[in-house]
A and B are shown apart, each in its own frame.
Chain A
């Protein structure tokens, strides 16, 4: 069943892709083929292959229970939040928090998780910023 739903989504995606390809604004200068043909070819392959596993699905995988799905969603939310606050909060603090959260959710006691988070953040800062000289997000305190 999973494959059928997935295939359905794949076909919709392919249709959307082909539709988007047809509405590409062409510039007054163009080559013989133009910017639309290749994407449409890809869209067709995408749609046909999706159709193939709608018709011939594999056995469905075991999906995690709802609680676990929620757990995964929270981890994703934490990563998204990290990406958004990184430029404002600065690298060290944001990374320590995000790493601590993930460590905690993967089964480390909270206090230990905070410590691991801080060490992870500091270690990465040392390697990437101090040694390799990459510019990381500065934040209000300069790190």
Chain B
């Protein structure tokens, strides 16, 4: 079993190497690969572009350096509009996206734009949501936190890194709703500029709970400053994250993942589309990428091409439904 597996891998590797030597053997190869990060340097999208660009080049999956362009504005809206309106037939271009992109598409925060104006390439992993409290908090489980919110919503302030109505906020609401809290709008959510700031305020004692991603909380969990009371994953995460209890096992059926991936211009040629899907897919399967994922607390989410397109479409639909339900 193990042998055939590594044998196959070896063959595949040889083919990749041959293709590389052969050069024009590939149907398409980008001249100037470019990745748009729809935000300023330092955020998740920027990280996605730079990390994937670097790994693709390190593994020889793209012929030259990936140029990362930061095109900030409108929470990704400016970049989306730029791709749709001006760069619709660019074969060398990919754009970083995440759950936040889907959330904004669902809530109409990109005026006049919809998800089918671009082609969705592939995912590179997912960051499961966590709900955490400070180490000296009397609360020890998700149900205790939700009980307290149920009894007196004013007594618990939950901090997160997204705007009100954004993904970090929705995650708590999903959990609250699943637990039978009817008026979820009473849940007190405080929006900060990024998960780091939100965790800091949890440590400072300004707020009682934190909602964010595994990767945002990781450093503080390792140091023992915060304790995770629930991971919003279907089952426990592997490795060093295995100690964190899931919401599901506490009887709260809440799952929330912040996926990371890419989209490309709608008018991209099929050869180019297949090329990018294949290269990102190969990258995803590599052991180097597994290390990157492990280091950053990214969980597996292996979707390419049509499967990814369907996944994004489903998540846009479910967020639309969720916000409509909550705000009605």
Contact = CB atoms under 8 A, between A and B. Distances in A.
* A/B contact in complex, CB under 8 angstroms: yes
Interface of A: 27-31, 135
A29 B322 CA distance: 13
A27 B69 contact: no
Contacts of B185: 29
B327 interface: yes
- For the complex, would chain B's binding face be called helix, strand, loop or mixed by DSSP majority? mixed
B267 interface: no
Contacts of B191: 31
B169 interface: yes
A135 B67 CA distance: 10
16 contacts: A27-B164, A27-B165, A28-B165, A28-B323, A28-B327, A29-B164, A29-B165, A29-B169, A29-B185, A29-B327, A30-B164, A31-B164, A31-B190, A31-B191, A135-B67, A135-B69
Given A29-B169, A31-B190, 8 more contacts: A28-B165, A28-B327, A29-B164, A29-B165, A29-B185, A30-B164, A31-B164, A31-B191
A129 to B, nearest CB: 14
A106 to B, nearest CB: 35
Contacts, number: 16
A29 B325 CA distance: 12
Interface string B295-328: 0000000000000000000000000000100010
Nearest to B185: A29
Contacts of A31: 164, 190-191
Interface string B143-180: 00000000000000000000011000100000000000
A27 B327 CA distance: 10
Contacts of B190: 31
B159 to A, nearest CB: 12
Contacts of A27: 164-165
Interface in B186-223: 190-191
Contacts of B164: 27, 29-31
Contacts of A28: 165, 323, 327
A19 to B, nearest CB: 22
A72 B169 CA distance: 51
A28 B191 CA distance: 15
A31 B185 CA distance: 10
B106 to A, nearest CB: 13
A36 to B, nearest CB: 14
